[in-house]
Structure 1
Amino acid sequence: MDKQSVKDFIHEHQLIFKSDDDEKPKLCKVCRLLIIAGTRFYSCSISSCTFFLHKHCADLPKVLIDPDYFSAKYNPFILSSTPTNEGDRCLKCYQICKNFTYCPKEIEHRNASLHPLCASPCKMETTHRSHRDHPLSPTHREIRAVCNACGEQENGIFFICQQCNYWLHQDCASLPPVAKHADHSHPLALFYSHPFPKGEISWGSCKICEEDLPLKLGVYTCQPCNYGAHIKCMKSSLKDLTPEEYKKLIAHLPPSVEDTVFPSLIIRAASLELEESNGANSTGDEKRMKPEECHDHPLTLLDDQNTEILGEDDLCNVCIQPILGSTPYYSCNQSHCHFLVHELCANLPTEIFGKLLDCRMYLFTEWPEFFGVFLCAFCRRSCNGFGYSDGPDGGGYNILDVECASAPRIIKHKSHKNHTLQLMMRSTYRRTEPGEFLCCSRTDFFFSRRFYQCINCDYKMHISCALLPQRVEHKFDTHPLQLHTDGPRNLSGRQNSSPENYYDFCEICEKCIDLRYWFYGCLECDNYFHVNCIPSVGEFSKFRFGGSVDDVPRHGDHPLTSVRMLTIGSQRCGYCGRIVRGFEDGFAFHCEMCDFWMHEYCVFWNRGYR
């Protein structure tokens, strides 16, 4: 008997057995059913060739002996790429056979056929993100059954879990994870069920039919806009993203392994390009700040051809991120003024719609508080650059810094390859459970309320962690430091890689660093750093230092200058006598002439600066 299987003769190119979590739907060439993300399958070795096979279908024999009593008389069956006669029905499921079919070898029985999925022995199981507890098996059903994704009664091909009585119609199993709809201007992400406990995040009502959105059914949502709709209401007019839209509407973070540009700059550039290509955005003609409105003095635009040498302390005065030589920027013409601003930051929109805040927000150039400091609602970091607030005339309750205001609605991140994450916000405040976020170990109430949530699984990521650059520079190492997001898997090359050795010490603060969370490091030099200990991304990375205050208590002779304590040892406050802690990311005030130090809060509370 011929022992050949399908994969030995079905395709002219070599087939590769692979398993990935690519969310893009693929169809098996033999059974014409969906190859679901997470299922092992065969793919053509030629990248441009869209040939795919289920593992089960690839292993089907070319010649089949079927043991069932009503089909045994037709043995042997030969697998053919088309049925012998058009309109032939399968002996078992009675459906019309199309494409690949098992046909009897004997000519007189050529009107009897078997669908590949009905051939015996045959048991195909697949995983699907709508039902992660158990594998699903395909089956054909003539009588209508309720689909657990859309709630509608359907017939035809279902993927079922008999243990849970879970039924997923093939049309719902193949829905695009991210799509667009005429009723909403932003891409919509598909959740097959509510990912959080009741009350934490509310879907509200369907924006199309205005009925409630049940927690157990699927929903297409733009959570930053509080928009959600039933699958059944979306299916008829749902449009998949084109490859061009996919690249523009879904941010892939970090942008490039070789790039030290901060992701928010690239995101803003892409957003500007998209708006220009569309002619207008969802809010109509967008008003933007002009470069001359950023600063009191004239500015000169310097592009990537300029020869000016910039240091790590050269920051954009708008977003408080490093100015890199490859990024066009404006520089003040006055020799005594060191004002710098990215070209993108000099053209920010004056109004935006606050993602997750459900309100319009307005650009401000200086916050009306002590030293211009405000607390960003997303990253919970202190910032004294430009920002957005919900108060049109200054002030307001919700405030975002420029970087967090650019946070995309939908992303893909290298730490969670191939899965899509959407910007989310809990309705309630609660402390994060240990291990709930794998990016960092922060567990405070406010910081973990807004985050990115995977639409396939329980993976979560803080907004500030998602916007970290892939590479940063630091004077402690001659090589660029790489962002490591895979925890212990990145350390397999270490001499002792047992779990108890996944701890090291930070080269800056010399405290223990838990390498199970994200960190920056140089594996070549065996140097590791807390994310918060890198000046350009740390706790006070959005704070512009160097400003001064006059007439402070107990030191009225000279002004005190704001200083970052990250790379400075501990000092003693000249006002309260307590220690100003060094080698931690905080700030204090210092007089170089007298070597007088003062806590930031001592200046603030005792002088009432506003």
Structure 2
Amino acid sequence: MLHHPLHLDHPLKLLPNSPYPKDRSCLCDACRQPWNSFVYHCYRCNFDLDILCAFPQGKLEHPSHEHLLTLVQRIASFACDACGTKEEQQSYICTACTFWIHRSCALLPTINHRKPHQHPLSLAYCFPIEYRRYEIPCDICFKKIPFQNWLYYCGPCRYFVHLKCMTNDRILPSRRGMHGPKGNQRKNSFGFYRCGTKQKTRLLTNASFNKEDEEDLVQLPTNDFVQEIRHILEKKQGLEIVRVPKKVQVSCCQHTLAIVDIQKLIKSRNVERITCNRCIEPVVSLCCQCTRCNYFVHLTCAQLPEELQHPSHEKHKLKLAFVSYVWGMIKRSACNLDCNGYLFKCDTCRLYTFDVKCALLPSTIDHKAHEHSLVQTYRGDGNKCNSCGNVVRSFLYACEPCGFYLNYECALLPESVNHRWDKHTLPLSFPPFSDRPDEFYCEICEEEIHPRRWHYHCRECDQSFHPRCIPGLGVTRNCNFGRILEFGRHPHPLKLVREGEYRSTCDSCHERMYGNRVFKCETCQFYICIKCVARVADSGKVAGPAKISEWCV
């Protein structure tokens, strides 16, 4: 029996094991840490003291402080100078200055381990100076770590953890047990293990979430979004998608479309790829073609509904529309990217405009970058996207308990891409990155890549690329290029291309066209930018959706 100053009401009895059931951990009331072996316990009050707290060290020399620290026997509530939190427990105080820390923080080991990270973590008494130029959050709770607080970190992996996140197993408020057993760890492209079974969180929605819903979730990232479109149309929209329809005809084209093998067509035309005019995704197998209109569409996209009910706009249905003017560019409501092809829009409100992929995305998705399901919400509230770091002010996917946010643009990034500067396929990589002590630099723009930002990386060649720097993944990734324009007195047709040649300039405003969308004459190397075409069109010199009647500089 022990009469202790922290519990004067009753004597404490020494027990060899925890007095609680196996599913409940024994927490020391002094340091608030779990304890499973010998413990002093009060049966009346359920008060517990571990051995170290029952007989604490009165004086302590700590490497974080220059003066001798004194133990305060009485439990007090204060803001700890180590972890930054305010809790009631024993503490060490400096009588020479205002330094005051929790006793549990003072006894933390300098080297610690935490699953699923595979390297030992070092205790730092402030945020390391060499990493302060980045905004790096905690890898457990995704919240900011103040520079003056203690933390555990792994330098080579740029892995940082709050003290409290290191010592406590985080339980999400919506569901317990989201972090799965060791056998369910998942490996990313850099060999780093992320913990967790694919448990589902139900946030921002009142819809029921059953086992069937879990199996029907869209899996991102993917290189075959057309398959996900088919899945959504069949499971969510209740449509019957015919694998190979006998006859295909779409609203924007009055001709009957023929079903062709796209691979033979690519070889005959000597082009790298052909994209679908509706979803702007590459066509890899059978597709529908109109030879008169030079129109290509996936078999699935040809069966898109003419009207769609979107969860963010329940008042009216969104109608499938087409940007008829070849120079027209519309910025979408969800991903905020430009679109010059097919879209779903509300004709009544004129506020909601989605491209095909954004309009079909469901309210809940699975993404390999996060262990929990992400739920759609319609107000960003200034949260930063965990992929690109940009502030999201419109549509996004979120895991609120973890503070994980993802905008539509990053959610739809492909799983892997190819680039002419690397002979290997580049997988999309997520942080934290294991066994990579050096900085990442984009091979195209030569800028340093933030260690918390997604990028495409080749491990064999050690080359990294910003998604925005890869052609086809920037702001023009959903633009339909190759559209033809007849422009004024110019004798040749102009083709809309992704960018002009090096040192090319617009023949109207003389701005450089390298890296910018431009209409190009492949016969005489004549260039004119979209802004100049739109300016002429606004002046009334329009003879049709693909023809400008006069050119006035």
> Structure 2 matches for 1:329-478, cutoff 5 A?
329-332=287-290, 334=291, 338-369=294-325, 371-391=327-347, 396-416=350-370, 418-426=371-379, 432=382, 436-443=384-391, 448-478=393-423
SS where residue 324 of structure 1 aligns?
A: coil
SS where residue 327 of structure 2 aligns?
A: helix
The reply on whether 1:523 has 2:459 as its aligned counterpart is: yes
- Structure 2 CA distance for aligned equivalents of residues 171 and 592 of structure 1: 58
Q: Structure 1 residues 135, 471: CA separation in 2 closer, same or farther (over 3 Å shift)?
A: farther
Provide the aligned length of Structure 1 versus Structure 2.
378
- Structure 2 CA distance for aligned equivalents of residues 607 and 514 of structure 1: 42
- Other-structure match for 2:148: none
**Preserved CA contact (<8 Å) 1:315 1:340:** yes
Q: Structure 1 residues 587, 407: CA separation in 2 closer, same or farther (over 3 Å shift)?
A: same
The reply on whether 1:246 has 2:214 as its aligned counterpart is: yes
**Preserved CA contact (<8 Å) 1:267 1:406:** no
- Other-structure match for 2:550: none
User: What stretches of structure 1 of length at least 5 have no aligned partner?
Assistant: 7-28, 36-54, 70-90, 94-116, 124-131, 137-169, 178-187, 192-220, 223-227, 229-237, 281-287
- Other-structure match for 1:292: 249
- Other-structure match for 2:504: 571
Could you tell me how far 1:320 is from its partner in structure 2? 0.9
Match of 1:315 among 267, 275, 279: 275
**Preserved CA contact (<8 Å) 1:322 1:536:** no
Q: Deviations over 1:269-321 (max 9, x none)?
A: 22233248x789xxxxxxx9x831254433344689x8665754310011111
One-letter code aligned to 1:411: I
The reply on whether 1:506 has 2:469 as its aligned counterpart is: no
The reply on whether 1:605 has 2:539 as its aligned counterpart is: no
One-letter code aligned to 2:340: N
**Preserved CA contact (<8 Å) 2:25 2:36:** no
- Other-structure match for 1:214: none
**Preserved CA contact (<8 Å) 2:310 2:318:** no
SS where residue 313 of structure 2 aligns?
A: coil
The reply on whether 1:581 has 2:513 as its aligned counterpart is: yes
Match of 1:261 among 224, 231, 249: 224
SS where residue 369 of structure 2 aligns?
A: helix
One-letter code aligned to 2:433: N
Q: Deviations over 1:484-542 (max 9, x none)?
A: 121xx33634xxx25xx34x1333x5555445311122121122222123233221111
The reply on whether 1:535 has 2:451 as its aligned counterpart is: no
- Other-structure match for 1:73: none
One-letter code aligned to 1:274: K
One-letter code aligned to 1:476: W
- Structure 1 CA distance for aligned equivalents of residues 388 and 462 of structure 2: 21
**Preserved CA contact (<8 Å) 2:326 2:485:** no
> Structure 2 matches for 1:55-204, cutoff 5 A?
60=36, 190=202
Could you tell me how far 1:448 is from its partner in structure 2? 3.2
SS where residue 249 of structure 2 aligns?
A: helix
Could you tell me how far 1:254 is from its partner in structure 2? 1.8
SS where residue 412 of structure 1 aligns?
A: strand
SS where residue 423 of structure 2 aligns?
A: coil
Aligned residues with identical type, % of pairs: 24
- Structure 2 CA distance for aligned equivalents of residues 527 and 254 of structure 1: 21
**Preserved CA contact (<8 Å) 1:386 1:402:** yes
- Structure 1 CA distance for aligned equivalents of residues 424 and 172 of structure 2: 50
One-letter code aligned to 2:531: Y
**Preserved CA contact (<8 Å) 1:562 1:588:** yes
One-letter code aligned to 1:449: S
- Other-structure match for 1:560: 494
One-letter code aligned to 2:491: D
**Preserved CA contact (<8 Å) 1:351 1:360:** no
One-letter code aligned to 1:520: Y
- Structure 2 CA distance for aligned equivalents of residues 92 and 347 of structure 1: 70
**Preserved CA contact (<8 Å) 2:279 2:356:** yes
- Other-structure match for 1:231: none
- Structure 2 CA distance for aligned equivalents of residues 349 and 341 of structure 1: 14
- Structure 2 CA distance for aligned equivalents of residues 252 and 135 of structure 1: 41
Q: Deviations over 1:108-136 (max 9, x none)?
A: xxxxxxxxx9998699xxxxxxxx97999
One-letter code aligned to 1:590: K
- Structure 2 CA distance for aligned equivalents of residues 368 and 299 of structure 1: 19
Q: Structure 1 residues 171, 595: CA separation in 2 closer, same or farther (over 3 Å shift)?
A: closer
Q: Structure 1 residues 134, 423: CA separation in 2 closer, same or farther (over 3 Å shift)?
A: farther
**Preserved CA contact (<8 Å) 2:518 2:527:** yes
- Other-structure match for 2:154: none
- Structure 1 CA distance for aligned equivalents of residues 452 and 173 of structure 2: 37
Could you tell me how far 1:30 is from its partner in structure 2? 4.9
- Structure 2 CA distance for aligned equivalents of residues 523 and 171 of structure 1: 35
> Please, what is the CA RMSD of the aligned residues?
4.3
Q: Structure 1 residues 357, 133: CA separation in 2 closer, same or farther (over 3 Å shift)?
A: farther
One-letter code aligned to 1:247: E
TM-score, normalised by the number of residues in structure 2: 0.58
- Structure 2 CA distance for aligned equivalents of residues 512 and 121 of structure 1: 48
Match of 1:490 among 416, 433, 436: 433
- Other-structure match for 2:132: none
- Structure 2 CA distance for aligned equivalents of residues 506 and 173 of structure 1: 42
Q: Structure 1 residues 591, 601: CA separation in 2 closer, same or farther (over 3 Å shift)?
A: same
- Structure 2 CA distance for aligned equivalents of residues 485 and 427 of structure 1: 22
**Preserved CA contact (<8 Å) 1:573 1:580:** yes
- Structure 2 CA distance for aligned equivalents of residues 133 and 267 of structure 1: 45
- Structure 2 CA distance for aligned equivalents of residues 541 and 345 of structure 1: 18
Q: Structure 1 residues 590, 391: CA separation in 2 closer, same or farther (over 3 Å shift)?
A: same
Match of 1:546 among 472, 482, 499: 482
Q: Deviations over 1:163-207 (max 9, x none)?
A: xxxxxxx99875899xxxxxxxxxx9645xxxxxxxxxxxxxxxx
**Preserved CA contact (<8 Å) 2:496 2:518:** yes
One-letter code aligned to 1:354: H
- Structure 2 CA distance for aligned equivalents of residues 544 and 252 of structure 1: 25
Q: Structure 1 residues 133, 359: CA separation in 2 closer, same or farther (over 3 Å shift)?
A: farther
SS where residue 404 of structure 1 aligns?
A: helix
SS where residue 293 of structure 1 aligns?
A: coil
- Other-structure match for 1:235: none
